Amino acid sequence: MISAYIEALLAELNMRRHHVPRADTIYFGGGTPSLLTPLQIKQILEGIHACFSVTPDAETTLEVNPETVSQASLAAYRAAGINRLNIGLQSLDDRTLAFLGRIHTAKKGVDAYGWARAAGFDNIGLDLIYGVPGQTRSRWEGEMAGVVRLAPDHISCYTLTMEPGTPMAQRVQDGQIQPLDEQTAGRLFSATAFYLNRYGYRQYEISNFSRHAPGDSSDRRSRHNRKYWTFLPYLGFGPAAHSFLDHTRWWNHRSLDDYLADLKAGRCPVAGSEKLTGEQQVMEFVYLGLRLTDGLDTVDFASRFNEAFSDRFGPQVRRLVGEGLLEQSSGWIRLTHRGMRFLEHVVDRMLS
């Protein structure tokens, strides 16, 4: 099945060849891409280079699950052309990992990180989840201390969400799990930024931090993910992948069988698409721009939409600044630290 999937993926790449003038990021994510062998990853990378103009310094990321890699496989991924790893560590607490249903232990996660460094990776991100039931600030800071000692180049910290329809959400409904109250979750959010900033990790997006050591000029922010937040075009390949180009978004079949069937028949495996209206473009520009700690570029807004940001949002911004949720400077609007906790509320207020 994997060989059929790769064959279909290469066919889809060929259908979209030259859709963008150049590619400076490549990202293997979604599911568990580290189930693909280094040879299979190399085959896909060769297909990408054959269909697109890829810059020599392209950021090429692979998401990995600690349980699916070894020292040898990580070295082989590096040799295949991967130059950035994103490791789904999730936690350094085995109790939390068990609660989240992860199959790896904290030790396995630390081992995977060490193997990656030994393989020559100098750009490694770690994903963490916090806000699990019963978690205290001291317990969470203990985990962050362990992560900081590892010295990754990038850290993503996501608050646990109980998605409707999932087994975890059902356990909450049945009273088996008591989610953290909003006040405790807010304290953990604040503690995260305070702690990581203190140890040299700059928060550049609500959930993302990059290391900036004195004298180090390298930029370890995720170049690929910043495209989503700055409204830049991207192409996605594979089942359920999304793409965005020329104000149009489209998405592939989620079903692998449907995906393979379309490509076998010579059709693009697109399940649906939408052309964003001018109003939708404004909404997304505001929502995504405010996720970044640098904020929303009002000059860029005026250039894109032929309208001054202050003409459209002046009264709302003044009220939100007065409430301590937004701050503004020449050419920029950004969330305060308090405002970051209430992004959805702030955006609703601005767009209402």
pLDDT digits (tens, 9 = 90+) for 62-88: 999 999 999 999 999 999 999 999 999
What's the pLDDT tens digit per position in 243-258?
999 999 999 999 999 9
206 pLDDT above the threshold of 90 = yes
DSSP 10-66: HHHHHHTTTSSS-EEEEEE-SS-GGGS-HHHHHHHHHHHHHHS-EEEEEEEEEEE-G
How many other CB atoms sit within 10 Å of the CB of residue 278? 12
Each residue's pLDDT tens digit, 105-119: 999 999 999 999 999
pLDDT higher than threshold 90 for residue 347: yes
Q: What gap in Å lies between CA 76 and CA 305, rounded to an integer?
A: 46
Identify whether the C-beta of residue 93 lies closer than 8 Å to the C-beta of residue 132.
no
Q: Give the Å distances, CA to CA, from 318 to 164, 289, 314, 340, 341.
A: 36, 18, 6, 17, 19
In angstroms, rounded to a whole number, what is the distance separating the alpha carbons of residues 306 and 118? Answer: 51
Q: Which amino acid is at 241?
A: A
Average pLDDT over residues 229-243: 94
What's the first-to-final CA gap in the chain, in angstroms?
Answer: 48
| Boundaries of every domain in the chain | 21-225, 228-274, 278-351
**Topology of the domain covering 278-351:** Arc Repressor Mutant, subunit A (1.10.10)
Residue whose entry in the numeric block shows the structure tokens 């600030």? 137
Q: What is the helix (H) or strand (E) element at residue 248, kind and residue range?
A: strand 248-252
As a whole number of angstroms, the distance between CA 28 and CA 33 comes to: 6
Maximum CA extent, the chain:
58
Q: Kindly report the pTM of this predicted structure.
A: 0.93
The CATH number of the structural domain formed by 21-225 is 3.20.20.70
Which pLDDT tens digit goes with each residue over 40-57? 999 999 999 999 999 999
